[in-house]
Amino acid sequence: MDIDLRDYGGTLLEEVMRHDHQGTVKFHTDLGPIRKFWQAMRLARCLESAGAEDSEITLDDGRVFEGDLLVGADGLHSIVRTKIAPNAPSPTPADKSCFRWLLSASDIRASETTKHVVRRGALMEWAEGGKARLVMYPCSNNEVLNLVAFMPTAKVGKLGEGIVPLFRMCAHADQRRAGYEAAGNKGILINGFEDFCPAVRELVERAGDDLKVWQLYDMEALPRYVMERAALIGDAAHPFQPYLGQGGAMAIEDAVSLAVLLPMGTTVNDIPSRLKLYENTRRPRVELTLHYTALNARNEDQECTDPKTAAEMARIMGQIGAHNEVANSTAVLREALTRSASGPAEANGAALDITQLAAPSGQV
């Protein structure tokens, strides 16, 4: 966070010494040179510019960093995206906004009005056409309830006011973050659900003072996710609305795919072709999941060219969750290396061994 803990009494570990029981030094190392190789997170900084061709970025404090690979994980209002796909349309506000708040499951269970809606491991939903929708599901070992309310943005009003920037933000940060941390108007929320059943009205009325609201966004599919030695992942590449809860999951899968496709032994010259493999393997799954997300977002009274019943959507969710990106990207890389006319890729004089690309068990 650009905080030097030594300014607050922290002690920097500078060397390590090991002795035997008689005090004889058996091992001594200076950690200064080693620290130069450690990867550091630089938080509370804004990205001012990025270069897709040279994998170079400039921060708002003027520092410049260059590497073999630039991964743009900078979200909905991505700067890296403008370099990889400069002519692509920007995200546009959708017609819905989303309120979020947490409630104690024990408190809701203790109320006569709401006790019947708390079911272990169950997702509950209430909807009234295109007017409003409330989704509730448990988390934290079923002790906390996460509530998400969708309402037309026209009823919610302008978002982005009341934002409190974290630490020092650069000049254009407020514009990029508009709606990210907007305080929700509880009165508007309550009015939006005034025609719902008593249980829903109580759940809404229990929302706390920390209520937040987010503007939802749409974005056309990008012509590409990658360029030279730069790649986009997560919302920077494909923003998701929360109707299937897959935005974070797809971002994690993107990162897993890159990790698999760029194993130890990959050369700098290999990176552009590997990034093309990344896009080719991720795009079909991402776009299919976006399609199902859009289906789940539609209002009950809204016409649809590919209608799905609730049971069908439940099966689709199971299929989405069963995907194993480690195995998928491993198979893609193995096939690409096998097809390569030059055989296994050379890296630092040592061949990349395809036999070491077996996918571990488990699902990601």
Question: What residue ranges do the domains of the chain occupy?
Answer: 40-90+219-340, 92-218
Nearest to 276 by CA among 328, 332, 331: 332
- The highest-level CATH class for domain 40-90+219-340 is alpha beta
| pLDDT (0 to 100) of residue 348 | 38
| pLDDT tens column, 185-240 | 899 999 999 999 999 999 999 999 889 999 999 999 999 999 999 999 999 999 99
Q: Looking at residue 120, what is its pLDDT?
A: 84
Confidence of residue 30 (pLDDT cuts 50, 70, 90): confident
How far from chain centre, in Å, is Cα 354? 30
Burial class from Cβ neighbours inside 10 Å (0-12, 13-18, 19+) for residue 281 reads: buried
Would you state the structure tokens that stand for residue 62, as one six-digit string?
């003027």
**Which range, of 97-101, 129-133, 227-231, averages the lowest pLDDT?**
129-133
The whole-number pLDDT of residue 129 equals 76
Give the per-residue pLDDT at 300.
Answer: 67
The answer for residues whose C-beta is within 8 angstroms of residue 244's C-beta and 6 or more apart is: 289, 292, 293, 296, 317, 320
Nearest by Cα to 354 from 290, 265, 291, 244: 265
d(CA 224, CA 301): 35
- The pLDDT score that the predictor gives to residue 2 is 55
- The pTM score is 0.78
Name the phi and psi angles at 7, rounded to 5.
-70, -15
**What is the C-alpha separation between 55 and 68, in angstroms, rounded?**
6
Q: Is the pLDDT of residue 170 over 70?
A: no
Which residue is associated with the tokens 């254009």? 172
Q: What is the sign, positive or negative, of the torsion defined by CA atoms of 152, 157, 159, 164?
A: negative
pLDDT value of residue 349: 34
Cβ 171 vs Cβ 181: under 8 Å: no
67 secondary structure, DSSP code: -
Class of CATH domain 92-218: alpha beta
User: Which 3 state secondary structure label does DSSP give 253?
Assistant: helix
pLDDT, tens only, 243-286: 888 999 999 999 999 999 999 999 999 999 999 999 999 999 99
